């Protein structure tokens, strides 16, 4: 092969490698950040509380992992339930959160998470009734929690009994609990949130799988200043 | 080049290098010790921080001359013995160039002495500092006065602590994926996400985990102890200054390892007492539901956590089942 | 090249046994065994294993619940590796022997197709290793660029948290697996026989097997990214590893595969060095690179089995539901920690020693002086090798180990810095009053001293238990090991590559590009990793995607320097491609005018290395010595004189 031919071959191979690398990087740039963020900053007037509605479902065949439990969020603009745990919220704003809990429950590994913490008034309402501590050894136990560890927010989601919902997103006809609480976002930054019930079936200590993957049982709150 | 002048230049090189080295080392050490040393992290907030800062500074004062020496030698060689330099004489080989008993023996002796001194000094610091803030496992050998008593009482549920009593305060650190929580056995065993500590007190940290390995790293307190499941890792320090500190998880524990951090505060003894007693009453309802205070907890592997092992397999050593089957 | 029956009988004529005929092969023979058949058989094995694993495991509770089947992944990877080895032909001879058949003779190929086949010539294996090692290195390096991108900002996240931890883990694992063979594989395999005056390695089949296993290991580790990655970092702590997804199997099994490659390479090297030295090569005449190779080989052979066992226990915990590492069922998280680090500490000396060997070999050539204190150099390497088994708990001082052990391991770790320091004595003594030629390999060796000094001294800080409380688990220790492994070993590897490539390929490397590569790599390497000592002291843990806001400036400085460091490797690639493939220039047979035995061969080196096995008369370091003894008696060839200070290598009378 001539020198020019060799140069062309080497450059060609180099471009192929570069292409592969670009493809690999693009596939690693996961949904959740920045592309897949559900934006709540424009859902209401500045200074007004933001309505954030989510549901927690059991291991019922949603998405790439049919046997994983999951959170779903209601997109404020489209009104559709989306499988996304990265939410963009305005800074220094009260967030009114509503959780439709469709999953069964069990005793908590750490009953510390049975206490409502970090919300306004340190209480939450369960089907209309206010509470501040839930004993997970009673009733149907706790299904999931919503916690923002760095902000010391933690609210237990009480479990349901009866025929749980079979297909996500779930609807009111399936047994569910409605919990409401409010918390205030701090200054701009990225705050992770997670569930503290080790609810990943089939993983040691229950914290693999859904608990360890974005868009299931944990995510990010991207708090931005509202101009 | 005549033998006499080459002999003279041989002395010159080595002597020159040594003189420059001595000057630079002394200057470097003094500059470091007085200007930088007092500010070396993690500061002087606790006894272990002070001890470890001193240790670091001693190591630096010994290490700087070593670094200066080698860098200087490389630089000197690079400039003076460079083939590009026309005045550089040809290399001379032979047995004299291949070895020098005095140089070799001095090197071995000096490095050995320095290194053994450092090992000894480190051991002394470890003893003086009661473990210097590092995790000593469930059976610590270096314990401050009163620690054994306080820890035994804490486990028995009879431990107390009050301001100005010079008692050791046991604090349990529970690592779980992905947050640290803290239990205070001398205040009814309440659990809290806040780490508040009294000043001028010896703290006994009892670090354990409910799942995978974490590491309790209280940066300004200079305490680092890994949290292992079913192991109580004990570390001691004495708080000596008021202020805030940061706790970070120091061992990769999964997806949110980087987000596993919380602030902590060292406050006056009376402020601490107020906080502890008020939190104890505030959390009383929940504390009743928590398992009794124990050094380690066996997480209930069956339940919401999915059951990695088949459901009917009983844990090997259920010291304290944390979760279901609570005493009513 | 066929074996000539008229070859004069030699001291060690390593002719293949008469009953196995070597036949010639055609380069373009697609139906023979080559990397293509290896890929196909590997793929088939993968599919078979995956199907079998699904068949076995689909009814198990935890597999049905989680939806992820570690058994399938384990069997898939296992059969893939077996298929790969069958496909390349590495198992033909042992299988034939095992079933009692006459093994078919190995077909000899010439030309470029040799490099894509299972080849028994140690020189071909050496070049194959160069390609494999560079492939590992650049993959790991790209992952490092991704890490530094994420760390540009503590609140803006380029990758999701689970992706980031996957990237961090993959970077560390690929780099560590590469680094354990980066010098032993390419340069050790290529040059040890030449340096000891041998025609071949002791076990050429095992040597080629180690290469193909190494490459298989790369694919296994890389496959983790397709199984969802693993979240434990390269240290793989249990029980997080038991909790992780199936990507963890790629890590555990990958370690098993790589450790097999390491064991075989090490064992082969050790036996070769002990048994195949030419007559007259007593231990005091062995080149210092070979000393480093035997010290490394001892560690490779003795430490890797522990890793293999640890990885196997991890796989069993994840597939057969044993509980080696799970505390609730009688196991212990400490078991993995101790097994891993018992291997892990010798592992890092597997990485440091070859670097020492290379600088010891190269510096005398460019100083035109003998190696200072040769015996101390050798003693240092053996000392490091022995002591490296007694220091492992310094990685877990704060883990809750028996506190009596802490001062003990502090002492042994401090003691190991004594033999480690010997290489500095040797280097400084050789540089003393030399006339130093600053060729590219020499610059890399000087950089090794610079970098390893910082790495080594920071190691002393880490070995001190009280200070360890500050610096363990954060960026300080991260900087320490990057300084020692990258600053020490990788710089030495590049120095060795620039030094020996003209002999390996017969083509010079471009000096100007080499100088550019060196200076950009050296400057940006230090700018990237020195700030990390400070970042670590200021409290940033390892493997985190967010950090305290006040550390952003330092992190950004480090990241930008890292990008420049990555770019500097493009210069190397350009140099490699240009000087070796596109516009090669023939190199003289001994361009650096070295006295080493490996340089006293023609270029390209003939298939059986030496016409006659030389009789060695002295060590290869008699530079600038008036009346120095001759290196070796080559029989009919003119004897090689000790070189004078003059460097004219083309003058035959010199």
Q: How high is the pLDDT of residue B9?
A: 57
Chain C 551-610, residues with CB within 8 Å of chain B CB atoms: none
User: How many Cα atoms are found within 13 Å in the side-chain-facing hemisphere of C150?
Assistant: 28
Whole-angstrom Cα distance, residue B80 to residue C266? 41
Q: How high is the pLDDT of residue A43?
A: 77
Of B234, B270, B235, nearest to B161 by C-alpha is B270
d(CA B264, nearest CA chain C) in Å? 15
Task: Please say whether the structural domain A36-224 has been given the CATH code 2.60.40.420.
Answer: yes
Chain C residues with CB-CB distance to B124 below 8 A: none
Contact B81 C436 (CB under 8 A): yes
d(CA B23, nearest CA chain A) in Å? 49
Strand partners for A181: A97
What pLDDT digit, counting tens, does each position of C346-405 carry? 999 999 999 999 999 999 999 999 999 999 999 999 999 999 999 999 999 999 999 999
DSSP, residue by residue, C53-114: HHHHHTTSHHHHHHS--HHHHHHHHHHHHHHHHHHHTTTHHHHHHHTTPPPPPPEE--SGGG
* Residue A163's pLDDT band (cuts 50, 70, 90): low
* Residue C4's pLDDT band (cuts 50, 70, 90): very low
Residue with tokens 């590994």: A109
Residue C567 has pLDDT above 70, yes or no: yes
Q: Is residue B162 part of a domain?
A: yes
Strands A189-194 and B243-249: unpaired
Mutation target vs B (from A198, A214, A217; most B CBs, 10 A cutoff) = A198
Residue C582 DSSP code: I
Chain B 53-92, residues with CB within 8 Å of chain C CB atoms: 55-56, 59, 63, 66-67, 70-71, 73-74, 77-78, 81-84, 88-92
Whole-angstrom Cα distance, residue C645 to residue C654? 11
Q: Do residues B219 and B190 touch, judged by C-beta distance below 8 A?
A: no
Contact C243 A208 (CB under 8 A): yes
Whole-angstrom Cα distance, residue B81 to residue C257? 47
What pLDDT digit, counting tens, does each position of B143-158 carry? 999 999 999 999 888 9
Chain B residues with CB-CB distance to A105 below 8 A: 304
d(CA A84, nearest CA chain B) in Å? 17
In a shared domain, residues B59 and B194: no
- List the beta strands (DSSP E) in C494-633: 615-616, 632-633
**B237: domain CATH number?**
2.60.40.420
Q: How high is the pLDDT of residue C638?
A: 54
pTM over 0.80: yes
> Mean per-residue pLDDT for C484-502?
96
Contact B323 A108 (CB under 8 A): yes
* Residue B327's pLDDT band (cuts 50, 70, 90): very low
Question: Sign of the CA dihedral C207, C209, C215, C220?
Answer: negative
Residue B22 has pLDDT above 80, yes or no: yes
Contact A188 C155 (CB under 8 A): yes
Contact C582 A10 (CB under 8 A): yes
Q: How high is the pLDDT of residue C317?
A: 94
* B74 closest CB neighbour out of C415, C449, C541: C449
Q: How high is the pLDDT of residue B306?
A: 55
Alpha helices in chain A (DSSP H): 3-28
In a shared domain, residues B281 and B161: yes
DSSP helix, strand, coil percent of chain A (3-state; round to 5): 20, 35, 50
In a shared domain, residues B75 and B190: no
Sheet holding A50-57, edge to edge: A81-82, A70-74, A50-57, A94-101, A177-184, A124-126, A129-131
Q: How high is the pLDDT of residue C10?
A: 44
Whole-angstrom Cα distance, residue C554 to residue C530? 10
Burial class (CB in 10 A: 0-12, 13-18, 19+), B112: middle
Chain B residues with CB-CB distance to A152 below 8 A: 193-194
Tokens representing residue C320 in the block = 């057969």
Q: Do residues A202 and A209 touch, judged by C-beta distance below 8 A?
A: yes
What pLDDT digit, counting tens, does each position of A37-55 carry? 888 888 778 778 888 888 8
Judge whether C59 is closer than 8 Å to chain B, CB to CB.
no
What pLDDT digit, counting tens, does each position of A106-123 carry? 888 888 999 999 999 999
Chain A residues with CB-CB distance to C584 below 8 A: none
> Which domain does B183 fall in, by range?
147-301+316-322
Poorest-pLDDT segment among B307-321, C465-479, C558-572: B307-321
In a shared domain, residues B169 and B71: no
> Mean per-residue pLDDT for C115-129?
94
Judge whether C242 is closer than 8 Å to chain B, CB to CB.
yes
Whole-angstrom Cα distance, residue B245 to residue C244? 32
Strands C23-24 and C107-108: parallel
Whole-angstrom Cα distance, residue B231 to residue B229? 6
Instruction: Reduce the secondary structure of C88-101 to three states and give it as a string.
Output: HCCCHHHHHHHCCC
Instruction: Reduce the secondary structure of C208-228 to three states and give it as a string.
Output: HHHHHHHHHHHHHHHHHHHHC
Higher pLDDT, C601 or B320: C601
User: CA of A208: which chain B residue's CA is closest?
Assistant: B254
What pLDDT digit, counting tens, does each position of B204-246 carry? 999 999 989 999 999 999 999 999 998 999 999 999 999 999 9
d(CA A212, nearest CA chain C) in Å? 7
Strand partners for B227: B214
User: What value of ipTM does the predicted structure carry?
Assistant: 0.92
Q: How high is the pLDDT of residue A169?
A: 86
Whole-angstrom Cα distance, residue C170 to residue B18? 46
Q: Do residues C297 and C271 touch, judged by C-beta distance below 8 A?
A: no
Cα-based torsion angle of the residue sequence C229, C231, C235, C238 in order, rounded to the nearest 10 degrees: -120
> Mean per-residue pLDDT for C470-492?
96
* B323 closest CB neighbour out of A109, A135, A213: A109
Q: Give residues with Cβ within 8 angstroms of B35, minimum separation 6.
A: none
High-pLDDT (> 70) share of chain C, %: 93
Q: How high is the pLDDT of residue C620?
A: 93
Q: How high is the pLDDT of residue C44?
A: 97
Q: Give residues with Cβ within 8 angstroms of B30, minimum separation 6.
A: none
| CATH architecture of the region C119-582 | Up-down Bundle (1.20)
Please state the φ and ψ torsions of residue B244, each to the nearest 5 degrees.
-100, 155
Please state the φ and ψ torsions of residue A87, each to the nearest 5 degrees.
-120, 130
Poorest-pLDDT segment among B184-198, B272-286, C140-154, C636-650: C636-650
* Residue B2's pLDDT band (cuts 50, 70, 90): very low
Please state, as a whole number, how many other Cβ atoms lie within 10 Å of the Cβ of residue C560.
Answer: 15
User: CA of C167: which chain B residue's CA is closest?
Assistant: B255
Q: Do residues C452 and C484 touch, judged by C-beta distance below 8 A?
A: yes
Residue B191 has pLDDT above 50, yes or no: yes
Strands A70-74 and A50-57: antiparallel
Q: Give residues with Cβ within 8 angstroms of C565, minimum separation 6.
A: C520, C521, C524, C525, C527, C528
Tokens representing residue C630 in the block = 């001759």
Mutation target vs B (from C400, C423, C535; most B CBs, 10 A cutoff) = C400
Q: Give residues with Cβ within 8 angstroms of C140, minimum separation 6.
A: C170, C171, C174, C175, C178
Chain C 371-400, residues with CB within 8 Å of chain B CB atoms: 371-376, 396-400
* Residue B301's pLDDT band (cuts 50, 70, 90): low
Strand partners for B191: B183
Judge whether A211 is closer than 8 Å to chain B, CB to CB.
yes
Q: How high is the pLDDT of residue B310?
A: 66
Please state, as a whole number, how many other Cβ atoms lie within 10 Å of the Cβ of residue C601.
Answer: 17
User: CA of A143: which chain B residue's CA is closest?
Assistant: B304
DSSP helix, strand, coil percent of chain C (3-state; round to 5): 65, 0, 35
Angle at A212 (CA atoms; ends A209, A214), nearest 5 degrees: 105
Of C221, C215, C223, C219, nearest to C236 by C-alpha is C221
Residue A209 DSSP code: G
High-pLDDT (> 90) share of chain A, %: 37
* Residue B304's pLDDT band (cuts 50, 70, 90): low
Chain C residues with CB-CB distance to B131 below 8 A: 403
Q: How high is the pLDDT of residue B311?
A: 58
Tokens representing residue C306 in the block = 């522990």
Judge whether A110 is closer than 8 Å to chain B, CB to CB.
yes
What pLDDT digit, counting tens, does each position of C577-592 carry? 999 999 999 999 999 9
| Alpha-carbon distances, residue C511 vs A82, C492, C502 (angstroms) | 58, 17, 12
* C467 closest CB neighbour out of B55, B215, B316: B55
> Mean per-residue pLDDT for C275-304?
96
Judge whether A19 is closer than 8 Å to chain C, CB to CB.
no
d(CA B304, nearest CA chain A) in Å? 5
User: How many domains is chain B built from?
Assistant: 2
Q: Is residue B95 part of a domain?
A: no
Chain C residues with CB-CB distance to B247 below 8 A: none
Q: Is residue B52 part of a domain?
A: yes
Question: Sign of the CA dihedral B20, B21, B27, B31?
Answer: positive
Residue A31 has pLDDT above 60, yes or no: no
Chain B residues with CB-CB distance to A222 below 8 A: none
């Amino acid at each position: 092969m001539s020198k020019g031919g060799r140069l062309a071959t080497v450059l060609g191979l180099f471009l192929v490698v570069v292409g592969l690398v670009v493809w690999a990087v693009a596939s690693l740039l996961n949904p959740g950040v920045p592309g897949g963020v559900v934006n709540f900053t424009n859902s209401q007037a500045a200074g007004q509380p933001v309505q954030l509605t989510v549901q927690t479902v059991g291991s019922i065949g949603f998405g790439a992992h049919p046997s994983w439990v999951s959170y779903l969020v209601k997109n404020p603009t489209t009104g559709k339930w989306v499988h996304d745990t990265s939410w963009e919220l305005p800074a220094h704003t009260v967030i009114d959160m509503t959780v439709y809990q469709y999953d069964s429950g069990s005793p908590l590994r750490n009953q510390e998470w049975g206490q409502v913490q970090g919300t306004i008034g340190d209480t939450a309402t369960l089907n209309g009734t206010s509470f501040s501590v839930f004993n997970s050894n009673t009733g149907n136990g706790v299904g999931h929690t919503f916690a923002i560890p760095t902000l010391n927010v933690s609210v237990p989601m009480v479990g349901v009994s009866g025929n749980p919902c079979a297909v996500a997103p779930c609807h009111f006809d399936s047994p569910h609990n409605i919990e409401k609480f409010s918390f205030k976002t701090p200054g701009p930054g990225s705050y992770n949130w997670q569930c503290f019930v080790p609810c990943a079936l089939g993983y040691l200590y229950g914290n693999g799988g859904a608990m360890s993957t974005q868009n299931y049982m944990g995510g990010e709150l991207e708090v931005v200043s509202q101009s | 080049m005549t033998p006499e002048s080459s002999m003279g230049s041989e002395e010159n090189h080595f002597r020159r290098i040594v003189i420059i080295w001595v000057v630079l080392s002394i200057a470097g050490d003094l500059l470091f010790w007085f200007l930088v040393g007092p500010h070396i992290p993690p500061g002087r907030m606790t006894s272990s921080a002070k001890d470890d800062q001193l240790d670091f500074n001693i190591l630096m004062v010994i290490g700087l001359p070593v670094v200066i020496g080698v860098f200087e030698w490389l630089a000197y060689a690079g400039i003076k013995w460079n083939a590009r330099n026309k005045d550089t004489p040809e290399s001379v080989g032979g047995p004299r160039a291949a070895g020098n008993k005095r140089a070799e023996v001095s090197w071995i002796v000096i490095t050995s002495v320095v290194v053994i001194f450092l090992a000894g000094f480190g051991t002394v610091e470890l003893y003086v500092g009661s473990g210097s803030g590092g995790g000593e496992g469930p059976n610590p050998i270096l314990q401050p006065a009163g620690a054994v008593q306080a820890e035994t009482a804490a486990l028995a549920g009879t431990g107390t602590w009050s301001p100005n009593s010079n008692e050791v305060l046991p604090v349990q650190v529970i690592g779980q994926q992905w947050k640290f929580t803290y239990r205070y056995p001398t205040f009814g065993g309440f659990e809290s996400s806040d780490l508040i500590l009294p000043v001028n007190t010896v703290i006994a940290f009892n670090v354990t985990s409910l799942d995978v390995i974490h590491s309790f790293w209280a940066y300004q307190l200079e305490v680092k102890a890994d949290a292992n499941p079913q192991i109580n890792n004990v570390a001691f320090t004495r708080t000596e200054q008021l202020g805030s500190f940061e706790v970070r998880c120091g061992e990769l524990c999964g997806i949110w390892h980087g987000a596993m951090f919380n602030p902590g505060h060292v406050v006056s003894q009376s402020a601490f007492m107020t906080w502890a007693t008020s939190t104890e009453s505030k959390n009383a309802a929940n504390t009743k539901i928590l398992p009794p205070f124990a050094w380690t907890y066996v997480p209930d592997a069956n339940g919401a956590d999915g059951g990695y092992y088949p459901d009917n397999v009983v844990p090997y050593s259920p010291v304290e089942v944390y979760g279901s089957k609570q005493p009513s | 090249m066929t074996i000539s029956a008229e070859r004069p009988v030699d001291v060690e004529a390593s002719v293949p046994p008469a009953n196995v005929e070597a036949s010639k092969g055609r380069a373009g023979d697609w139906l023979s065994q080559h990397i293509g058949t290896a890929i196909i058989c590997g793929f088939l094995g993968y599919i078979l294993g995956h199907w079998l694993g699904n068949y076995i495991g689909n009814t198990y509770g935890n597999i049905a619940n989680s939806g992820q089947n570690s058994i399938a992944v384990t069997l898939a990877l296992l059969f893939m590796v077996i298929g790969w080895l069958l496909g390349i032909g590495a198992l033909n001879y042992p299988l034939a022997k095992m079933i009692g058949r006459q093994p078919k003779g190995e077909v000899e190929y010439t030309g470029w197709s040799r490099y894509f086949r299972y080849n028994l010539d140690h020189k071909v294996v050496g070049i194959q290793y160069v390609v494999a090692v560079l492939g590992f290195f650049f993959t790991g390096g790209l992952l490092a660029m991704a890490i530094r991108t994420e760390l540009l900002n503590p609140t803006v996240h380029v990758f999701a948290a689970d992706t980031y931890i996957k990237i961090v883990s993959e970077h560390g694992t690929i780099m560590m697996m590469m680094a354990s063979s980066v010098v032993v594989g390419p340069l050790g395999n290529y040059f040890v026989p030449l340096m000891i005056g041998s025609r071949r390695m002791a076990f050429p089949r095992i040597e080629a097997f180690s290469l193909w296993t190494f490459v298989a290991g790369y694919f296994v580790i890389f496959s983790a990214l397709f199984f969802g990655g693993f979240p434990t970092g390269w240290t793989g702590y249990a029980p997080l590893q038991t909790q992780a997804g199936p990507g963890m199997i790629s890590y555990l099994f990958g370690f098993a595969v790589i450790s097999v490659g390491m064991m075989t390479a090490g064992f082969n090297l050790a036996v070769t060095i002990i048994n195949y030295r030419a007559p007259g090569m007593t231990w005091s005449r062995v080149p210092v690179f070979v000393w480093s190779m035997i010290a490394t080989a001892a560690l490779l052979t003795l430490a890797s089995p522990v890793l293999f066992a640890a990885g196997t226990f991890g796989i069993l915990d994840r597939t057969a539901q044993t509980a080696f590492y799970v505390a609730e069922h009688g196991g212990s998280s400490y078991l993995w920690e101790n097994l891993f680090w018992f291997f892990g500490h010798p592992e890092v000396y597997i990485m440091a020693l070859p670097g020492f060997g290379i600088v010891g070999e190269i510096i005398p050539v460019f100083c035109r002086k003998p190696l200072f204190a040769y015996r101390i150099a050798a003693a240092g390497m053996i000392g490091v090798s022995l002591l490296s088994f007694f220091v492992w708990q310094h990685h877990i001082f704060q883990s809750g180990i028996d506190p009596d052990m802490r001062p003990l391991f502090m002492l042994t770790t401090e003691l190991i810095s004594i033999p480690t320091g010997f290489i500095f004595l040797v280097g400084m003594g050789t540089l003393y009053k030399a006339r130093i030629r600053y060729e590219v390999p020499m610059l890399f060796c000087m950089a090794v001293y610079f970098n390893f000094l910082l790495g080594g001294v920071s190691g002393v800080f880490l070995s001190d238990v009280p200070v360890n409380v500050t610096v363990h688990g954060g960026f300080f220790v991260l900087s320490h090991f990057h300084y020692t492994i990258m600053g020490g070993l990788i710089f030495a590897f590049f120095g060795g590559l620039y030094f020996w490539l003209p002999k390996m390929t017969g083509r010079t490397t471009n000096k100007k590009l080499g100088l550019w590569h060196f200076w950009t790599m050296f400057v940006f390497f230090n700018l990237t990793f020195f700030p990390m000592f400070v970042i670590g002291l200021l409290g940033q843990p390892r493997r985190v995607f967010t950090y305290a806001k006040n550390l952003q400036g330092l992190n950004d400085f480090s990241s930008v320097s890292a990008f420049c460091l990555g770019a500097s490797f493009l210069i190397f690639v350009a140099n490699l491609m240009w000087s070796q493939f596109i516009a090669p220039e023939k190199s003289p047979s001994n361009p650096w005018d070295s006295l080493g035995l490996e340089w006293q061969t023609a270029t390209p080196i003939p298939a059986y290395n030496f016409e006659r096995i030389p009789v060695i008369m002295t060590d290869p370091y008699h530079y600038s010595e008036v009346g120095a003894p001759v290196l070796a008696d080559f029989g009919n060839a003119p004897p090689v004189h000790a070189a004078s200070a003059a460097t004219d290598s083309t003058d035959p009378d010199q």
